[in-house]
Amino acid sequence: MLCVKSCTSHPVMNVDLNKYPLDQEMLAFLEKSEQIYPPSNGALAVEENRRLYLKLCESFQAPIPDGIVITDHEIPGRHGPVPIRIYEHQDHRSAVTVLYLHGGGFVVGNLDTHNSICAELSARCGHRLVAVDYRLAPEHVHPVQFEDALDVYLAIDQGHTVLVGDSAGANLAAAICVAQHGSDRRPAGQVLIYPWLGGELYDLESYVSNADAPGLTAKDIEDYRQLRSDGEPHWHDPIYYPLALKEYADLPPCIAFAAEFDPIRDDAVEWINRLKRAGVDATCHYEPGLIHSYLRARHCSEKASASFGRICEAVADLGELR
């Protein structure tokens, strides 16, 4: 099942294994990643960052599952057309739509970087999936990314849409839930994968304990935040940082995934705790031994593979018509 040989087998030299005791599969994944995409990538020149990130993602792409048909389209948006990519099974049509928003710090990533992730997710959860190629910073600063994502959501929603996102994309998914709070166009659910939700506002513990974590550092977060907002973060805007929200009651049910060795790990935990206190059906999966962006490792790490299975189950569960 797993393509362990696609990752190398030598440990990464700059990982403190006493602080971050990664297993050999995750070390091999990290070493292969760092051969292409250097640590502290948030400080790279933007175009170089995007080029290397695309190369990194291409090196971990997997075959498209049998039966999945992929088509590209555009959705009219307030800032111009927004490219989307639709994944659906040729022999199955679902009444549920999954809207996927990719990660990349609002600066990198596109439809190609998450192509096989989206195809596998669609195949395993059994629903049509729509991936969004929202505009990136610094050419387009907040709230353009959110507005692109919301415009696509409102255009494709047919009454039962599950929002899914990883990292910065999870921020956008949660922000859509915030924006649609109290609306009759509320999403059916939200699946947030190592989400970046604004834990900096509350000095959450993981920002300190995992500040130099492999895969993502606190410095990377700062660099991307500056680019996203042209150096002027919208600290208390819940569309920018969903954890700035004051009222959580009646938000859509949520299943979140937190990687143990990730500076933004506690964003997921805090978001779920706040939803629970407000009476929202919410669950957090704490994933031991994993780092930020482990979705790419789903075919070379047993732990990442198991978590991806739980993510697919979460999307399928929230997609059940009720």
Residue 100 lies in a domain: yes
Among the options 122, 167, 229, 307, which is catalytic?
167
Among the options 262, 267, 293, 307, which is catalytic?
262
Residue 65 lies in a domain: yes
Q: Is 292 a catalytic residue?
A: yes
Nearest residue to 297 via CA among 68, 62, 108: 62
Residue 6 lies in a domain: no
Q: Is 160 a catalytic residue?
A: no
Residue 139 lies in a domain: yes
Q: Is 167 a catalytic residue?
A: yes
The helix or strand, by DSSP H or E, that contains position 57, with its residue range, turns out to be: helix 46-59
Residue 8 lies in a domain: no
Per-residue pLDDT tens listing for the chain (322 residues): 344 334 433 444 578 999 999 999 999 999 999 999 988 777 789 999 999 999 999 999 999 999 999 999 999 999 999 999 999 999 888 899 999 999 999 999 999 999 999 999 999 999 999 999 999 999 999 999 999 999 999 999 999 999 999 999 999 999 999 999 999 999 999 999 999 999 999 999 999 999 999 999 999 999 999 999 999 999 999 999 999 999 999 999 999 999 999 999 999 999 999 999 999 999 999 999 999 999 999 999 999 999 999 999 999 999 986 5
Among the options 102, 127, 292, 299, which is catalytic?
292
Q: Which CATH number belongs to the domain containing residue 32 in this structure? A: 3.40.50.1820
Q: Is 131 left (phi over 0), alpha (psi -120 to 50) or beta?
A: beta
Count of structural domains, the chain:
1
Residue 162 lies in a domain: yes
Collect all residues with Cβ–Cβ distance below 8 Å to 37 and sequence separation of at least 6: 52, 53, 55, 56
| Range(s) of the domain holding residue 265 | 21-318
Residue 1 lies in a domain: no
Residue 29 lies in a domain: yes
List the alpha helices (DSSP H) in 86-126: 115-125
The helix or strand, by DSSP H or E, that contains position 277, with its residue range, turns out to be: helix 265-277
